A and B are shown apart, each in its own frame.
Chain A
Amino acid sequence: MSGELEARPSIEGEQGAWARPLPNRIGEMIVAAALFGAAAFFIWGSLYLPFGGIGLPGPGFFPFALGVALALFALAIFARVLSEPGGDPVYLGHRDVLVVFAALGGVALTFETLGAYASLGAFTAILLLVLAKSALWRVALGTGLGMVAVWVAFKVLLGVQLPTGPF
């Protein structure tokens, strides 16, 4: 099975080398389980809310009903996955996707503490280095010009107050 998976790389380029195949059936099961988890969350949360009556529903009625419906759909998807043959494997872990996702997490973490310009500047520089594979002087120039453009467009023209951090 694994030989067959490795023989069919669906992702192009060297960055795709980081990607690992996940058998479709297992992936589908994980997603169905996650949906079931979300359904359980809504059902559990709604139990702490006034339910009202069937005729006059309270704030807990809708989330409860939706949670039950979602749980049923998740189970139905699970059952279908079990009854059908698995499709092509799904490749997860592409290098560029991971880098962008991690860099965005970094922005979310530092946006207010470091300030928008420092946070977004570092983010831009990392992406230009890793994704565009630009020379350092181009990265520095692109990042600098980009942040000036951000300042002009958002702060000067649109009046958006961005956090400046300690700087």
Chain B
Amino acid sequence: MNAFDHLIQGFAVALSWKGLLYCFIGVLWGTIVGVLPGLGPLAGMTLLLPLTFGLDPATGIIMLTGIFYGAMYGGSTTSILVRIPGEAASVITCIDGYEMARQGRAGPALMIAAVGSFIGGTVSVLGLMLVAPPLARVMVAIGPSVEVVLMLLALCVITFVSGGSRLKTAAMIVLGLAVGTVGFDKLTGAPRFTFGNLGLADGLSFTALAIGLFGLSEIFINLEKSETIKAIRPKLKELVPRWKDLKDAAPAVGRGTIVGFIFGIIPGVSHVVSTFVAYALEKRFSRHPERFGKGAIEGVAGPESANNATTGTAMIPLLALGIPSIPATAILLSALTIHGVQPGPLLLTDNPQVFWGLVASMYIGNVVLLILNLPLVGIFVNLLRIPYGWLVPIILVISVIGVYSVNFKHTDIWIMVLSGGVGYLLRKFGYEMAPLLLALVLGDRLEENFRLALTMSGGSYATFADQASLIVLASALSLLGVLQALAWAFGYRKAIADEAERA
């Protein structure tokens, strides 16, 4: 069976009533959490994660992925109309998007953002489809030692590219790995830190920890803000861009898509880095760089295409290697594991319907998003009018029931509440939750493969420096080195500094 036949099968899954319904629910909820400031894709995914438990794996993962890329679309709406980024990847869109809106050109900005997002998202799915299967075939042959090297590399890269203090990020990674050791040891069955409580045999509930650390802490942080939001409201007829807008935006969309696709491979903050690089690139390529910051449409088209193009690429390490590179894919990994599906090289052979169903649904989801986001932009903007005091109980009731329904243990509600408090306090002092979550997800497998590799090699640590490990390590480091160099060359740091100054 070739890729085309598989894709046809994938469309059969994605176009079933269930596939379509949950794809729609996913992208709609994704757009909503993208629009609402403070509720990004991560919180959106963790909050609805428990709802997928009653679904089959393919449908569940289609819905969650829909939230992921839907939030990327939604984030641009508030950036342009309110100058509040719905999520981190939309920060840079605020600069020229909001300026365009102030000049009465919110419609074209929204239209170009949506079309750019659609093109970026669709091209990246094509890339995912072409790159993941051959990469998975290569990775099937690798042993546990290479997997350990890859996971350690991902964690190291997250530490170095982290926006905050590297020391704090490293501490969060180690804490996540340590918390991941709670529960029965997979290799010997020895209970660790369970204190005789069988409820902890499988470790601390990932869903409860994820919702607490991300969802709850986010809500607590938002409760401290009381902002009056004034949104610019474009009319439907104003959405149509001028010919000059299209001519200016088209190359930026192309460049943004390429940047997003390539930079999506960087673990940790790929979607944010790619938007800054795309913006800096557009400014450098422009004949009139002085227009940037004053409503240049390329400043919207490039970053918006880039952030959506990263979504497909970010799925490659997850689906082909089983290693999540960003927190959103860590949630997907957890969801797949809960459904009994092991992401990684064998996913394509053992569960092709999940992989190809997901790929097909991403094509459909991107079309749905384009249709949803343009005519309904007014409705999404109105969401900002819902008082936060009414949203909070709704979100929290869903969270509590969701967490409880995973294992039907009320201790999980306690874990959620306490981890929410801990996450809130840590965030107040500049600790990031994403590295903690990624380490929590990877911890189990890192330890298992580490000990397995040593057992297989008769206790020789040289196994982590065998030929295969070194080749994989050298290739990954070279790729990351080139990307880092490109980011610097195109003024990623300068773009961040400019934006910070502007803010």
Interface residues of A (CB under 8 A from B): 11-13, 15-16, 19, 24, 27-28, 31, 35, 38-39, 42, 45-46, 49-50, 53-63, 66-67, 69-70, 73-74, 76-77, 80, 90-92, 94, 96-97, 100-101, 104-105, 107-108, 111-112, 116, 120, 123-124, 127-128, 131-134, 142, 146, 150, 154, 158-163
Contact = CB atoms under 8 A, between A and B. Distances in A.
A128 B431 contact: no
B401 A161 contact: no
B429 A158 contact: no
A66 B174 contact: yes
B192 A146 contact: no
Given A73-B170, A120-B397, A162-B401, A131 B177 contact: no
Interface string B399-432: 0110011001010011011001100111011010
A145 to B, nearest CB: 11
25 contacts: A15-B226, A31-B426, A55-B454, A55-B460, A55-B461, A59-B185, A62-B447, A62-B450, A62-B451, A77-B171, A91-B224, A92-B425, A97-B220, A97-B223, A101-B417, A105-B417, A108-B417, A111-B410, A127-B396, A128-B389, A132-B387, A132-B389, A133-B389, A150-B401, A154-B405
Contacts of A73: 167, 170-171, 174
Nearest to A80: B167
B424 A97 contact: yes
B392 interface: yes
Q: Which of B168, B190, B429 has the most CB of A within 10 A?
A: B429
Contacts of A120: 397, 400-401
Contacts of A90: 428-429
Contacts of B171: 35, 70, 73-74, 77
Contacts of B488: none
Interface string B162-205: 00000110110011011001000101101011000000000000
Contacts of A60: 192
B417 A13 contact: no
A64 to B, nearest CB: 10
A74 B188 CA distance: 30
A149 B143 CA distance: 49
A56 B455 contact: yes
Nearest to B189: A59
A11 B388 contact: no
Interface residues of B, number: 61
A110 B429 CA distance: 32
B181 A66 contact: yes
Contacts of B405: 154, 158, 160, 162
A104 B381 CA distance: 30
A70 B400 contact: no
Given A24-B429, A45-B193, A56-B459, 20 more contacts: A11-B225, A31-B429, A55-B460, A61-B451, A62-B177, A66-B177, A94-B224, A96-B223, A100-B392, A101-B417, A101-B421, A107-B417, A108-B410, A111-B404, A111-B413, A123-B400, A132-B390, A154-B405, A158-B51, A162-B401
B32 interface: no
Contacts of A123: 393, 396-397, 400
Contacts of B410: 108, 111-112, 163
B220 to A, nearest CB: 5
Interface in B90-136: none
B90 to A, nearest CB: 23
Interface of B: 51, 54, 167-168, 170-171, 174-175, 177-178, 181, 185, 187-188, 190, 192-193, 216, 219-220, 223-227, 387-390, 392-394, 396-397, 400-401, 404-405, 408, 410, 413-414, 416-417, 420-421, 424-426, 428-429, 431, 447, 450-451, 454-455, 458-461
Contacts of A107: 400, 413, 417
Contacts of A74: 171
A55 B447 CA distance: 14
Contact of A142 (B175, B187, B223, B390): B390
Nearest to A66: B178
A15 B223 CA distance: 9
A162 B404 contact: yes
A70 B175 contact: yes
Contacts of A92: 425, 428
A108 B420 CA distance: 13
A146 B400 CA distance: 14
A77 B174 contact: no
B187 A59 contact: yes
Nearest to B225: A12
A107 B242 CA distance: 54
A120 B185 CA distance: 36
A142 B392 CA distance: 13
A45 B192 contact: yes
A97 to B, nearest CB: 5
